[in-house]
Amino acid sequence: MPTNRIVYLEPVPDDVESIIRTRLPSGFDLHVRGTEETVESAIADADFVVVATTPLPSHSIGAGTRLRLIQHQGVGYEKTDVAAAARQGIPVAVCPAGTTIGVAEHVLLLILAVLKRLPLADASLRRGEWLQWELRPSSFELAGKRLGLVGFGRIGEAVARRAQAFEAEVLACEKDATRQLAGESIGVEFSSFEDLLAACDIVSLHVPLTADTRHMINAETLRRMRPTAFLINTARGPLVDEPALVAALESAAIAGAGLDVFEHEPLPADHPLLRLPNVVLTPHISAGTKDALIAKMDACFANIGRVARGDPPLYPVTA
C-alpha cells in the first residue's frame, strides 16, 4: 500500500483532476474519489485528505485509520466534525490561499450584474427583444453608491479596494480593532451592523458561518434595509434565511440580490429563487477559477508536505 497517499475527496471532471495532478509534489500518491465511491472507502487507506465541500462527519473520519491531516481546500470547515478528528489525533487545517482575489472579483461581478440588470438584458436580447430604453428606470451605476461590508477580513478589504476604484463609498462593520485600523487607513468607515443595513445601497456578507451568524439576514434584518438596496452573498449560504429573502424580494422590500452560495447546494430545481427576475445566481464559483485552484493546490500540498516531514500544519482549526 503506498505511503504518503493523498485522497482528494471531491469527484471532479477530468480536466480539473489534470490541473490538480500537475501541482502534486514528488513523493506523494494522489487518488481522486470517484462519483460512485463512498467517502469512507476513499479515506480508508489515506494518509492525507484534501476536502472542499464533502461533509466529513464523525463516522466518516473514523474510517481513516491512517489519517495524518484533513486539509480543507478553502477556509470553511463547518461540514467537518473537528472534535471527532481531534479525538483521533488528526489535525484539521484550512487554506486561505487562492480565495481572496477570486471572491472579491466575483462580488463586484454580482454587484454590477444586479445593478445593470445583466441577466434580463442578455436573455431578452437572445429572444429578439431590444430593451434599449425599458431597462433604464431600473438600472444603476455603482459610482456614488454606499457599499456595506458585513465583516472586514482579507476578502472584505479586497472588495473595498475594488469598489473604491468604481467610486463607491464603503462602510463596514467589524469587531476586530486591527481590521478596523486597516480599513480606516484606506478610507473605509465603520458602524454597527444595524446602522450599516439602514444606510447602505448594497450589503455584502463576509463573515464565517457560526451559531451567531447563521440566519443573520432574516425577516427582521431585511426590514432594516432600504427598499432600493441589494444583498450580495459569496460567503456561506446559511448566513441568509432564504424563505425570508424570497419574501423580501417578492414584496419589493429590497430591490434585488446576487447570490453565489445557498443553504442547500446544489440549489434545488424548484427553488423559488430561480423564478425571481431581480436575482443573479451563480453555483458557488466565486473562488472557482483555474488561477485559484492552482494557488490552493500549491498551498494545500505544501501544508501536507510539512506534516509529512513531522512539522505541525499551518492554519489549524479547533473545535
At 100, the amino acid letter reads: T
pLDDT digits (tens, 9 = 90+) for 191-203: 999 999 999 999 9
Could you give the maximum distance between any two Cα atoms of the chain, in Å? 67
> Average of pLDDT values for 94-118?
97
Does the global pTM surpass 0.85? Answer: yes
- Pull the grid cell for residue 56: 466529513
**Catalytic residue (one of 129, 141, 265, 275):** 265
Mean pLDDT of 114-125: 97
Determine whether 236 is an active site residue: yes
State yes or no: is 265 an active-site residue. yes
User: Going by C-beta distance under 8 Å and a sequence separation of 6 or more, which residues neighbour residue 21?
Assistant: 30
**Residue 246: its pLDDT value, please?**
98
pLDDT tens by residue, 154-192? 999 999 999 999 999 999 999 999 999 999 999 999 999
If pLDDT is split at 50, 70 and 90, which confidence band does 2 have?
A: low
Out of 33, 72, 117, 284, which one is annotated catalytic?
Answer: 284
What's the whole-number mean pLDDT along residues 24-46? 96
Selected catalytic residue, list 72, 174, 236, 242:
236
* Contact by Cβ (8 Å): 33, 7: yes
Coil vs helix vs strand at 144: coil
| Residue 3: per-residue pLDDT | 76
- Is it the case that residue 319 has pLDDT exceeding 90? no
Under 8 Å CB-to-CB from 80, ≥6 apart: which residues?
Answer: 51, 55, 56, 61, 70, 72, 92
What would the mean pLDDT of 2-18 be, rounded to a whole number?
Answer: 94
Average pLDDT over residues 35-56: 97
- Which residues, in sequence order, are bridge partners of residue 57? none
Taken in order 290, 292, 297, 302, the sign of the CA dihedral is: positive
pLDDT tens-digit map of 146-156: 999 999 999 99
Per-residue pLDDT for 52 more than 80?
yes
1 has pLDDT over 90: no
pLDDT > 70 fraction of the chain, expressed in percent and rounded: 99
What's the mean pLDDT when you consider all of the chain?
97
Per-residue pLDDT, 256: 98
Q: Which domains are seen in the chain, by residue range?
A: 5-98+289-317 (3.40.50.720), 100-281 (3.40.50.720)
Q: pLDDT digits over 245-289, tens only?
A: 999 999 999 999 999 999 999 999 999 999 999 999 999 999 999
Q: Is 31 a catalytic residue?
A: no
Give me the mean pLDDT over the 92-120 stretch. 97
